[in-house]
Chain A
Amino acid sequence: MANPIEQFEIKTLVPLGKIGGTEIAFTNSALFMVGAVALITIGLTAATARRSLVPGRFQAGAEVLYEFVAKTLREAAGHDAMQFFPLVFSLFTFVLTCNLLGLVPGFFTVTSHVIVTASLALLVIGTVIVAGFVKHGFHFLGLFVPSGVPFWLLPFMIVIEVVSFLSRPISLSLRLFANMLAGHIALKVFAGFIVSLGALAASGGVTGILGVAGATLPLAMAVGLTALEFLVAALQAYVFTILTCIYLHDALHPGH
């Protein structure tokens, strides 16, 4: 149990067969993805089922969530970006729910796998590129040509802009993945210290007293880290969402 990496292992629950040499199965990761989606959709549908004019507690929560994401999108990308609202709202709720579900002891953290965060990041960048070309055609490439720059600097600037654009999906996916991974490893390591030093305390005598003192410190750390991880879970979901909104702004208004 003390192995801090074990929590990220993908376990096959129901093998489904092979497609071109790749094993396809219903895994613990898939279970939590489906669980998160079920939680979001059933929760939001049930909360808004009554369509009350004066909202109840759950409907008010759903409305706050909606207004929060809508405000973020409108402020970062403008009113015409509201066509992407279902995507942005799906991303925010999915990442937030997966992050928070991962904090339940024994639960799997979907967003601690780089393939998942990278797929979501590529979905965002793909949407930006497609929407940019659909809306502006080849003018979308003006995104890479900053205005007000001396022409001899332009080739240099274009290279920088292209590199910065290409680094977006990488930073977007790695930020979420690394935060989740590191946080869960740190929690597990400190929890492991509590167990080993607690066992020392159980042995009694002078070492026992040292063990009690030694186990209390990582326990306090684990409590603090848990609170921090809740903050990180919500914050990273928000960061992912607002960066998505900012990139969508580039797709809709590519001028610098």
Chain B
Amino acid sequence: MATPVTAQANVPGIEHEGASFPPFDVNTFGSQLLWLAISFGVLYLLMAKVIVPRLSGILADRQARISGDLEAAAKAKTDAEAAGAAYEKALSEAKARAQTLVHETRDRAAAEAALKRQALEAELAEKLAAAEAVIAEGKAKAMSSVRGIAIEAATAIVERLTGEAPADAKVAAAVDAVRR
């Protein structure tokens, strides 16, 4: 490491190398070209056949995955929206159906009740008429027997008073004249 030694080694070195500066030494070109061709050729082949397809494949896969996921998410969103709309529709339909069912049931019940009442009223009216007929018949019968009773009573009264039985025809005519 002594200065004089390096200095001495330095100066002749430059002079010696100055004759053939290594980068311009034509004798080494053959080997350099050969090994550059071999190594760069191998590098190019490996790049073209293995590394670049693999890297671009990785990047393309990622791109495809991301866009695929985004598409799936968008599809799921529209699906969910459609399902929501379908649910709303079904709900409103069910509500409407329930409403009509309620109306129908109520109407039918009202109609049935009216029908029953009419039948009952008719039956009652019939019974009433029958009873009225029975009453009228009884009344007529009673009224018809009133005349006989009156004639008998008149005959008996006259017989008690006069002691003599009046003629039936005269009594009947007198009773009828009174009843008129």
**Which residues in A have some Cβ–Cβ distance to B below 8 Å?**
1-3, 5-6, 8-10, 12, 19, 22-27, 29-30, 33-34, 36-37, 40-41, 44-45, 48, 51-53, 55, 59, 62-63, 66-67, 85-87, 89-90, 93-94, 112-116, 119-120, 123, 177, 181, 192, 195-196, 198-200, 202
Residue contact A2 to B57, C-beta cutoff 8 Å: no
Interchain Cβ contacts under 8 Å between A and B, 28 examples: A1-B6, A2-B6, A3-B10, A8-B23, A22-B29, A24-B34, A27-B28, A33-B39, A37-B40, A41-B51, A44-B55, A45-B46, A48-B55, A53-B65, A62-B55, A63-B59, A66-B55, A86-B48, A90-B44, A115-B28, A119-B36, A119-B37, A120-B36, A123-B40, A181-B23, A192-B10, A196-B6, A199-B3
B43 lies within 8 A of A40 (CB): yes
Residues of B close to A12: CB separation below 8 A? 31
Does A2 contact B36, Cβ atoms closer than 8 Å? no
Name the CB-closest residue of A to B62: A53
User: A85 to B52, Cβ gap below 8 A?
Assistant: yes
The 3 closest A-B pairs by CB, nearest first: A30-B35, A22-B30, A86-B48
Interface residues of B (CB under 8 A from A): 1-3, 6-7, 9-10, 13-14, 17, 21-25, 27-40, 42-44, 46-48, 50-52, 54-59, 61-62, 65
Asked whether B14 lies within 8 Å of A90 as measured between CB atoms, the reply is no
Asked whether A3 and B32 contact (CB < 8 A) given A37-B39, A86-B48, the answer is no
Per a CB cutoff under 8 Å, which of A23, A66, A116, A123 touches B59? A66
**Is the Cβ of B32 less than 8 Å from the Cβ of A115?**
yes
Q: In the complex the two chains form, what is the Cα distance from A108 to B93 in whole Å?
A: 85
Q: CA–CA, A30 to B28, complex, Å?
A: 11
Contact B31 A113 (CB under 8 A): no
Q: Are B25 and A10 in contact (CB under 8 A)?
A: yes
A26-B50 contact in complex given A5-B21, A40-B43, C-beta closer than 8 Å: no
Q: Give the docked Cα–Cα distance between A183 and B178 (Å).
A: 170
Could you tell me the distance between the alpha carbons of A45 and B51 in the complex, rounded to whole angstroms? 6
A86→B32 contact, CB < 8 A: no
Query: Considering only CB atoms, which chain A residue lies closest to B65 in the complex?
Result: A53
Q: Is the CB of B17 within 8 A of A3?
A: yes
Question: CB distance A24 to B30 under 8 Å?
Answer: yes
Given contacts A2-B10, A22-B27, 16 further A-B contacts (CB under 8 A): A5-B17, A22-B30, A33-B39, A37-B42, A40-B43, A48-B51, A48-B55, A48-B58, A63-B58, A85-B52, A114-B24, A123-B40, A196-B6, A196-B7, A199-B1, A199-B6
CA distance A19 to B29 in the complex (A): 12
Is B55 within 8 A of A63, CB to CB? yes
- Given A1, A2, A33, A45, which contacts B35 in the complex, CB threshold below 8 Å? A33
Among residues of A, the one whose C-beta sits closest to the C-beta of B4 is A199
Complex contacts, A26 vs chain B, CB 8 Å:
31, 35
A48-B54 CB under 8 A given contacts A30-B35, A53-B65, A195-B1: yes
- C-alpha gap A36/B43 in the complex (Å): 9
The contact of B47 among A10, A89, A198, by CB within 8 Å, is A89
Cβ of A90: which chain B residues have Cβ within 8 Å of it?
40, 43-44, 47
CB neighbours of B50 from chain A (8 A): 41, 45
The answer to whether A94 and B32 touch across the interface, beta carbons within 8 angstroms, is no
Contacting residues, chain A, for B36 (C-beta < 8 A): 33, 115-116, 119-120
Are A195 and B32 in contact, CB atoms less than 8 angstroms apart?
Answer: no
| B-chain residues with CB within 8 Å of residue A9 when the two chains form the complex | 17, 22
> In the complex, how many angstroms separate the beta carbon of A184 from the nearest chain B beta carbon?
11
Would you give the shortest CB distance from A191 to chain B, in whole angstroms? 11
Which residue of A8, A10, A55, A119 is within 8 Å of B33 (Cβ)? A119
Q: How far is the CB of B92 from chain A (nearest CB, A)?
A: 45
CB distance from A18 to the nearest CB of B (A): 9
Contact A29-B58, Cβ < 8 Å, known A23-B27, A41-B51: no
Measured in the bound complex, the distance between the Cα atoms of B42 and A185 in whole Å is 31
A173 and B5 CA atoms in complex are apart in Å by 37
